[in-house]
């Protein structure tokens, strides 16, 4: 039996198989495209949430102490507004951490540097110490590792 005879007898099965393969590869392409678009959308949503949170710092003068490196918290304790602002940032950071665990791309070194820079200030550190018991263990470990690496760098300097 030659190839022409085989094609004459099996043309319909060959066409079905080819159609299935084309459909399969089209579906794969669509899933990849949708996944990429969803990741981009998630990144924009996370960036927008980040911008909204930080804009509060510039809109409310009462939050200006949050960025001071050293504040005497015994003389001037953390205010409720400052605590809420820092806690909102911690929740945002936790959401980003969870998104990273679910496949969102982040530069861990850059995130750790942000954590060190922010949570080593008096007010954010006090709020973190108070609220970390309410966080997931893996998130707390991530933050504490970032803070520990800062402590190590400070001792070496």
Residue 81 in 3-state DSSP?
helix
Instruction: Answer yes or no: is 45 within a domain.
Output: yes
CA separation for the pair 85, 135 (Å, rounded):
17
Q: Tell me the percentage of the chain whose pLDDT exceeds 90.
A: 31
What mean pLDDT is reported for the chain?
Answer: 84
Residue-range definition of the domain harbouring residue 124: 11-156
CA separation for the pair 40, 154 (Å, rounded):
37
Instruction: Answer yes or no: is 55 within a domain.
Output: yes
Instruction: Answer yes or no: is 15 within a domain.
Output: yes
> 28 pLDDT exceeds 70?
yes
Residue 109 in 3-state DSSP?
helix
Total of domains in the chain:
1
Burial 109-143 (b: 16+ CB within 10 A, else e): eebbeebbebbbbbbbbbbbeeeeeebeeebeebb
What is the pLDDT averaged over residues 128-153? Answer: 84
Instruction: Answer yes or no: is 29 within a domain.
Output: yes
* pLDDT per position as a tens digit, 54-105: 898 889 988 989 999 888 999 999 999 999 999 999 998 898 888 888 877 7
Instruction: Answer yes or no: is 113 within a domain.
Output: yes
Instruction: Answer yes or no: is 103 within a domain.
Output: yes
Q: What is the pTM of this model?
A: 0.72
Instruction: Answer yes or no: is 2 within a domain.
Output: no
Instruction: Answer yes or no: is 50 within a domain.
Output: yes
């Amino acid at each position: 039996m030659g190839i022409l005879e085989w094609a004459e007898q099996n043309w319909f099965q060959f066409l079905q198989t080819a159609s299935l393969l084309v459909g399969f590869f089209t579906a794969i392409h669509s899933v990849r495209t949708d996944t990429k678009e969803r990741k981009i959308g998630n990144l924009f949503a996370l960036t927008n949430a980040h911008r909204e949170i930080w804009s509060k710092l510039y809109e409310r003068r009462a939050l200006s102490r949050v960025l001071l490196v050293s504040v005497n918290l015994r003389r001037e304790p953390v205010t409720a507004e400052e605590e809420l602002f820092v806690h909102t940032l911690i929740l945002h950071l936790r959401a980003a951490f969870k998104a990273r665990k679910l496949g969102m791309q982040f530069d861990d070194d850059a995130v750790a540097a942000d954590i060190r820079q922010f949570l080593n200030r008096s007010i954010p550190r006090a709020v973190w110490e108070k609220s970390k018991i309410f966080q997931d263990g893996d998130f707390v470990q991530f933050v504490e590792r970032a803070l520990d690496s800062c402590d190590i760098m400070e001792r070496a300097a």
